[in-house]
Amino acid sequence: MKLSINDTFNKELPSDSNMENSRRKVFEAMYSFVVPKVPTKPELLHASSEMAHTIGLDENDIKSKAFLNIFSGTEVYANTKPFAMAYAGHQFGNWAGQLGDGRAINLFEVMHNGQRWALQLKGAGETPYSRQGDGLAVLRSSIREYLCSEAMFHLGVPTTRALSLMTSGDQVLRDMLYDGNAAYETGAIVCRVAPTFIRFGNFELFAARQDFQNLKKLADYTLKYFYPELGEPSKDTYIKLFEEVANRTLEMIIHWQRVGFVHGVMNTDNMSVLGLTIDYGPYGWLEGFDFGWTPNTTDRQNKRYRYGNQPNIGLWNLLQLANALYPLLEEAEPFEKVLNQYQTDFESKSLAMMRSKLGLMVEDTNDIHLIKDLEDCLLLSETDMTIFFRLLSNYKIGDVDSGLKLVEEAFYSSEEISDAIEEQWKVWFSSYDQRLRKEELTDNERKTQMNLVNPKYVLRNYMAQLAIDKAEDGDNSLIEELFELLKKPYDEQPKYKKWFAKRPEWARHKVGCSMLSCSS
C-alpha cells in the first residue's frame, strides 16, 4: 500500500514541545504529537472503495494487512508523525476554553490528483486533549459516523468523508444516557477524511490567549493551502477569508435544511473552516416535520440546536469566528458587513431552496406566502418530511382534489386528518396548482427536477440502529445494504423500497432511534 504523503500542518506550524501523552493545557502550539493506541485485535468491518480511490488506493490495498494496520492505529505509516490538534470553542453558547482532539488522531496528509486530503482516526486512544475521556469510540457511534459521512456526500451536502470502519477487539466503558448505568461496549475506529479538519475553535484558542502570532500563522496557513485564490496574506485577504467561510457555512446549512438534517451539536469546535459538516454525534433527520426538533438529549430542554434554529446558530458561530479574527484587522465594520450579508443571503437562498423543493423555477413574489402556508399545513399533524416532498413530485396540474391522497403516505396517522385539516390542505393545493400554471415545465419535467433535490432515502436513526444491533451480533450485512442504498439517495431503487417508509412506531422512543446523547 503506497500513499503520496504530503504533510504540511505538522511541518509548517508550531508543535507542542512536551512529548508526553498526558492531559494538560497546551500553549503556543497548534498540535501535540501522539501515537495511536495499538488495538488488541482489529477487524475491518467496511471500507469506502470510492474514498479509497480518491486518495490513491485500490481494492487490493483495502484488503491488505497494511491497510488494516495503518487505519486501525496498529502501525504508523513510514516517515509520518501522528498528532492531535489544539483548539477551543463555545459549547451550547458558553465558552469552554481549550478542547482539542480528545479522541481523534491525525495520521497524515495525502496528495492525489491535485487534491489534498487529511486522514484521522477517531477512537484510536487518548491525547493531551482527552480531558476526562479515554480517547476511544464504540461501535454504535462509529457506525453512525461512518454511514452518515458518506450518505451526506451522496446527498450533495458539504461534508467530511469516511474511509474505513474497524472494530478494535477491545471493550470500552460508556454511560450511554449519562444516567449512571455505564456498560462495556465494542470498541471501534473510523478513519475520517477531509482536506483539513481546521475548525472555528482553532482560531478561537489563540485569540482567547492573545497569542496573535500563532493566530496569524494559522490564518496564513489556511489561506495558502485552502483559499489560495484569495491572494497573499493581508488585512484585505483576511476579511475575504472570513467572507468565504461565511458563504460556505451558509451553503452547508441550507443543504441541511433542504434534506431535513439536524446536526445536534453546532458548537464552534464542530464548525469547519471549509464549510463542511463535521463531527457526527447525536445527529438525525426529521421524521415528522418540526422546526423545534433536536436529536440531542443534552439539548432537550433549551433546544438551542433545533432544526429551525440552525441558520441562526451558524450566524452566532460566525460572530465568534469574527471575534477571533478581529486582532488581524482591528476593524469591526468589515466583519459586521459580512455577518449582515449572511442574514440577507439566508433569506434569499432559503427561499430559492424551498422553491426548488416545490418544483418552482420562475420567481414569484408570492412564493414566500405559499411556502409559509405549506409549513403551517405540515405542522397540522405529524407529517414525514422526506416522504411528503418526494411524493409531491407526482402532483399533476389540475388535480387539486387528489392532492392530499397523493401524499397520504407521509401522514403518521390518517385519523388525525380532520375535516378542518383536510380543508386547509385543499386550500394549499389549490394555491400550489395555480402557482404551477405560471411555470413552463411539464408535469414529468417538474417531477424530474424535484426528485433531484428531494431525496427518497435518508439515514433515519432507526435504520442506523438496526445496522448497529445486527453488527453487535456479528452481522455486518445491514451496514453494507445501507451503505449501498445511500449512495443513490435520489434514485428510485425499487429493491430497497422498504426503506422509503415512516419511522416505525416501535422506534419512536427507543434509545438510538429518536434522541441520542453526546456519547452516542
Distance separating alpha carbons of residues 182 and 387, to the nearest angstrom: 37
For residue 152, the tally of other CB atoms under 10 A from its CB is 28
Helix (H) or strand (E) holding 61: helix 59-62
Maximum Cα–Cα distance across the chain = 72
Distance separating alpha carbons of residues 276 and 271, to the nearest angstrom: 8
Distance separating alpha carbons of residues 462 and 468, to the nearest angstrom: 10
Our answer to whether residue 179 is catalytic in this structure is no
Distance separating alpha carbons of residues 216 and 487, to the nearest angstrom: 40
Cβ atoms 82, 76 nearer than 8 A: yes
Cβ atoms 109, 117 nearer than 8 A: yes
What burial letters (b/e) apply to 217-242, b meaning 16+ CB within 10 Å? bbbbbbbebbbeebeebeeebbbbbb
The amino acid present at 141, given as its one-letter code, is S
The amino acid present at 175, given as its one-letter code, is D
Which distant-in-sequence residues (6+ apart) come within 8 Å of 256 by Cβ? 157, 262, 263, 277, 310
The amino acid present at 252, given as its one-letter code, is M
Length of the chain (residues): 520
Cβ atoms 450, 393 nearer than 8 A: yes
CA distances from 462 to 506, 511, 513 (A): 9, 9, 4
Find the radius of gyration of the CA atoms of the chain.
Answer: 24
Distance separating alpha carbons of residues 476 and 446, to the nearest angstrom: 39
Among residues 16, 101, 269, 384, which one is catalytic? 269
498 burial class (0-12, 13-18, 19+ CB within 10 angstroms)? Answer: exposed
For residue 79, the tally of other CB atoms under 10 A from its CB is 8
Q: Are strands 43-47 and 88-91 parallel, antiparallel or unpaired?
A: unpaired
Cell output for 177: 444516557
Q: Indicate which residues carry an active-site annotation.
A: 269
